[in-house]
Structure formats: structure tokens, C-alpha cells
Amino acid sequence: MTDIRVWVDGRIVDPDTPAVSAVDHGVTVGDGAFETAKIEAGVPFAVTRHLRRLDRTMAGLGLPAADHDRIREGIDAVLVGEPIDFGRLRFTVTGGRGPLGSDRHDCDLTHIVTAVPHAPPGDHGSVVTVPWVRNERAATAGLKTTSYADNVIALAYAKARGALEAVFANTRGELCEATGSNVFVVVDGALSTPPLSSGCLAGITRELVVEWCRADGVEVVERPLPLDVLTRADEVFLTSSIKDVFPVSGVDGRTLPAPGPVTERARAVWQRHAAQGSDP
């Protein structure tokens, strides 16, 4: 783990050395929020948008606002030294020391920032649908919390079946999202993605793809989609902070073009806009 750079509440710490209290509420009950951003050539991407989404998650959890200046201090600290050519930046904010149960005391937030080199994503990958659902009416729907057990289980299910990602429906049987990605589909040339009301995370890459495609004349429709749209979609792609626009080559064993023409156009739009600055 020596390649992981770790900063906790104002100091760089050894990644193998305990640095968070055993009774931190993020440890005991998953009471916290986090963000993951891509690092390229030592520079993190879209940090301001990630901080804004962190604010939404903290508010949704009923936690005090995170300290943006403190997080940026941590980001600077973990990016000092040898530039990370391609990697993952993560900042996590928890409820701090608390009781062992779900009650909260006064929140003295814990701020954690980490950075680590990461292999660039491949050219394409397959996905499988999973037998579990996202609850679009849950208290944490659309929030990026540290309570990630559902995703861990679903991703293990996908990996056991040779897939890269796992895709969830919601309780209404609608296409929702993958464990760490948003999903876009192309049917008869039309590009669509589930709306935020489906319970999916408001992905930063999703947000930018929708904005930039529309700005460049590529229509993107946000609308409810039945899960079985994946059985007839002409193209599917994922979006995430690490994968950008990522072509899906198969869904539940059905082969798809990767990339198809609409995916290729969306990826070209992404690359052109993303090259204009690291904090869009």
C-alpha cells in the first residue's frame, strides 16, 4: 500500500498506520460522504463540481458542511512530489467520533484525502444486471455516502461472471445505474439516460456528458427506461470519473458494438471539451 498517499486532518500519514479513531462514525456506521476524481499528469479533474456534490451529500445526511479549504489543503498535500500520471483522488468526510450506534453527538468532522496511481481503463468492457435493486425512495437515494456494501456485493457478483460492472434496476423495474457508473443507452439512434428521479447518483461525468453533448448538438434525453431496454439497445456506454465515456461490449452475454457510432461521437465530444481545462 506504499503507493497510496494519505492525508488526514492536516497531516500526511503512512497508509499502513492507523489515523482515524476506532469510534469514528464513518467506521462504525458508515456516516460519511466521499468523492472520487480522476488525476491526469498530476492534476485532478473537476474538483469544484465534486466539492459541490459533496455539499449535497453532507446536507442530505444531515451533517455539517465539509471544509472546502481543508480538503483543498489535503489535495495539494497528496499531489506534492512525483506527479501521478493517471490515478484516483478521493476525499472523504465523516461524522467524526461518535457513539457505537446510529445516534449522533456533536459532529467534529474527519477530513481524509488520498491519492493513488490507477491503471487507465481499457477500451471496453461487459456488464451484467444484478438481482438487487436501488431504492429510489430511500433516505440516501442519490447521495454518495460511505455506506457502499450494496455496491461491493454487486460488483463481486459481476466479477464472478467475468463482467466489469454490475447494473441495478430500481424498485419500479427501471434502469437505474451501475455500482460506480451512470448508464447511457442508444435505441434507434436516440441517446438516453435515466433521470435523477430513478435514484441514480448525479454523476459528475454524466452531468458533463449531458451538458457538452447538448452544447454540440447531440441530443440526450433523460427519461425513465425499463431495465429490459438493455436487451434491445443498439449501444450502451458507462460514464464515471475514472472511465470517462466507456463503451460497453456486452450486457448479460449479449454482444454490442464497442464503441458504436453514437458512443464514439459522445466520446469525441467529451475529449474535446475536457481538453479545455481541468476544472470545468
Chain-centroid distance of CA 20 in Å reads: 23
Average pLDDT over residues 253-267: 98
Model confidence over 151-165: pLDDT tens digits?
999 999 999 999 999
Mean of per-residue pLDDT scores for the chain: 97
What are the pLDDT digits (tens) for 90-130?
999 999 999 999 999 888 999 999 999 999 999 999 999 99
pTM of the model: 0.96
CA dist., res. 110 & res. 127, Å (int): 35
What angle do helix axes 204-215 and 47-61 make, rounded to 10 degrees?
130
With H, G, I as helix, E, B as strand and everything else as coil, classify residue 146.
coil
Residue 111, H or E segment: strand 110-117
Percent of the chain's residues with pLDDT above 70: 99
102: CB partners within 8 A, 6+ apart: 29
Reduce the DSSP state of residue 188 to 3 states and report it: coil
- Is 2's pLDDT higher than 80? no
Average the pLDDT over 19-45 and give the result. 96
Angle between helices 204-215 and 261-274 (to 10 degrees): 100
Asked if omega into 259 is within 30° of 0 (cis), the reply is: yes
Q: Which SS3 state, helix, strand or coil, does residue 68 take? A: helix
Residue 10: partners with Cβ closer than 8 Å, 6 or more residues away: 70, 73
Does the CA dihedral 26-31-35-36 come out positive or negative? positive
Question: What pLDDT score does 106 carry?
Answer: 81
pLDDT in tens, 170-212: 999 999 999 999 999 999 999 999 999 999 999 999 999 999 9
pLDDT at 107: 87
What is the arithmetic mean of pLDDT over 79-91? 97
Q: What is the mean pLDDT of residues 249-255?
A: 98
Section 206-222 average pLDDT = 98
E runs forming strands in 62-164: 86-94, 110-117, 125-134
Closest C-alpha among 112, 32, 36 to residue 64:
32
